[in-house]
Structure formats: C-alpha cells, structure tokens
Amino acid sequence: MRNKLPLLSVPYVVWMALFVVAPIIMVVIYAFSSAAGGFTLANFARMGTYTVVFTRSFKLALIATVICLLIGYPVSYMMSKEGPRFQRIAMVLIMLPMWMNFLLRTYSWMSILENNGLLNQLFQKIGLITLYNNVFGTDLAFFRMINTQGAVVLGMVYNYLPFMILPIYSVIVKLDDSLIEAARDLGASTFNVFRRVILPLSLPGVLSGITMVFVPSVSTFAISKMLGGGTEMLLGDLIEQQFLGGAYNPQLGAAISLVMMVIVVVCMWIMNRFGEGEEQAVMM
C-alpha cells in the first residue's frame, strides 16, 4: 500500500533529476571551473563589475511585479464576484494573448512603440505631439518610448500579468462565503472584511503570483533586447551573451546565473517567511 505513491511519482522524479537537478549541478560545476577545466573562484571575483546590471534587473523586475500585483489583484477580486459566465469569458480574454508566441507578441510591441511606430503615428494624427510641443515649448517629432526602461517594464507586465491573475483568482474564487458572512455578522465593515479576512486568505495566491512574475522578469533577455534596445543590459542579456552572444565565456555565464539564483531564492525565502508571519498574526 505504502509504496504506491512513490512509484507513481517516478516519472516526475526522473524528469526532475534529468532536467532540473542535473542542469543545476552543471551550472555549479561550470561556475567554479576555469576555461582550462581546473577549479577557480575567478569567475566570482569579477562579479563586482556587474553590480549595476544586478541592481537594474532586480529594480525593473520589482517594478513590474508591483504593477502586475496592482492590476492583477483587483481584476481577480472583481472576477470572482461575477457570475460563472462572466468568469469564463474573462478567463479566456486573459489567456488569449498567451496563445500566441511570446516572441511574436514582444515583436509587435516593438512596432507599436517605435519612434515612427503605430502609437507615435496615432499621437501625430490626433495632434497630441503638436499640443505637447506647444504646451512645453519643446520640439519633439515623436515620444521616445522604445529603448527605455519603461518599455522593458511594459513588456514584462504585458507578458507576465496572467501569471499574477491566475493564482490569485483561483484562491479567491474558492474562499468560503460563510467566513465573510461570519465577519459581517460580527460587525466588521466592508474594508475590515477585506483586510482581516479576504486579503490574508488570498495571500498564498498573491505569493505564488509574485514568484511567477518576479522570477521570469528578473531573468528575461528577449524583452530587454527587443524593447530595451540592448543599451541597458539586464542580467538575462549578460548571461545570454556569455553563452550565445558576442562574448563566449560559459564559466562566467554560469557563475552569474548561480549568483542570480541564490539571490532569487533568498528573496523568495524572505518573502515566504513574511507571508507566513502575516497569516499567523491574522489568525491569532
């Protein structure tokens, strides 16, 4: 009886070992080896040079995560309050962009945000640029949108927003209504019901939403390459460059990846600790 579950889990364990554990071990080995193959710490000694890239990546990923949360939470909350028909349609609309390839979507944003792109042409047509020039006394031919940090954040939010909405929604929609009724019976205001009951109970969804947005954002390279123009490099670009780009140095690339993974894991650990504490505090 007892060994049924382990046997059923064999396919996944095999999968994990082959495609998750083994690559991580390889990253660690690479990070600590020199080009010739011997053990070295030299790859980490150079890490200080890349502090700017680390801070820039974490900053942009953090901003994108906060925006996703600010948009995603209300949407999930409203959705869960509507009828099943509305929920189904809303769900399809949220998932719809994900049916298209991620690179294609980002490419489309490129042509929308370009100096001579769709948005700037629209602004031109409706006279917004002229108006702006008259008001501020500037001499702009277009609004500079692409190749900015804002464009990169936009790309992150656009691509990863569904990963924030879905986990929050799936937690909120399963909330037991009787808990809310009980809180009401005990005289809690609408705000207090939200703050003391709904918010704490939806926290697991929020935490997994944050993880699912933050982690891919911090390591993205396609978005920053296309929308950021490669002038302000992110961690993903830096790592990609060591493996596939102009500078072939897989050992350094592995070392940067390892440092990034450690920082991300520490961030997640702190966040989860904070999350647990919150839940317990509320329960008491």
Partner 1 sequence: MKKILALAMMMVTILTLTACGGSSSGSESKDRVVNVCSWGEYIDEDLIYQFEDETGIKVNYQTAESNEALYSLLKTGAGDYDVIVPSDYMIGRLIAEGMLAELNYDNIPNYALIDARYKGLSYDPDNKYTVPYTWGTLGIIYNTTMVDEEITSWDAMFDEKYAGQVLMIRNSRDALAAALLDLGYDINTTDEAQIREAYELLADAKSKGVYQSFVMDEIFGKMEGGNAAIAMYYAGDYLTMLENNEDLAYVVPEEGSNWFVDAMCVLKNAQHKEEAEAWINFIAGTDANLANMDYIWYASPNAEALEQYPAYYEETYGEELDQETFGIMAAPADVLDRCTLYENLPAETLTLYNDLWTELGI
Give the footprint of partner 1 on this chain (CB under 8 A): 4, 7-8, 10-11, 14-15, 18, 49-50, 52-53, 110-111, 114-117, 144, 146-147, 226, 228-231, 233, 237-238, 241-250
Query: Smallest distance, Å, CB 146 to partner 1?
Result: 8
Q: Least distance to partner 1 from the beta carbon of 114, Å?
A: 4
Residues linked to residue 33 through DSSP beta bridges, in sequence order? 39
List, as one string, the DSSP characters of 85-152. Answer: HHHHHHHHHHHGGGGS-HHHHHHHHHHHHSTTSHHHHHHHHTTHHHHHHHHHT---SS---TTSHHHH
Residue 58's nearest CA partner among 258, 193, 236 is: 236
Nearest distance in Å: CB 48, partner 1: 11
- Is residue 269 within 8 A of residue 46, CB to CB? The reply is no
For residue 181, give the amino acid letter: E
Min. distance of Cβ 139 from partner 1 in angstroms? 14
Of residues 68 and 234, the one with the C-beta less far from partner 1: 234
Cβ proximity to partner 1: between 111 and 189 the closer is 111
* Closest to partner 1 by CB, 49 or 178: 49
Cβ distance to partner 1 smaller for residue 9 or 190: 9
Residue 172 in tokens: 């909120």
Instruction: Give me the least distance between CB of 225 and partner 1, in Å please.
Output: 8
| Calpha distance 245→227 (Å, rounded) | 18
Q: Which is nearer to partner 1, 45 or 265 (CB)?
A: 45
| Residue nearer to partner 1 on the CB measure, 124 or 272 | 124
Asked if residues 227 and 276 have their Cβ atoms less than 8 Å apart, the reply is no
CB of 157 to partner 1, least distance (A): 21
Cβ of residue 238: shortest distance to partner 1, in angstroms? 7
Q: How many CB atoms lie within 10 A of CB 100?
A: 10
Nearer to partner 1, 11 or 84 (CB): 11
How many residues can be counted in the chain? 284
Please answer whether residues 23 and 254 qualify as being in contact, where contact means their C-beta atoms are separated by less than 8 angstroms: no
Q: Within 13 A of 51's CA, how many CA atoms are on the CB side?
A: 3
Direct distance between the N- and C-terminal alpha carbons of the chain, in angstroms, rounded to an integer: 39
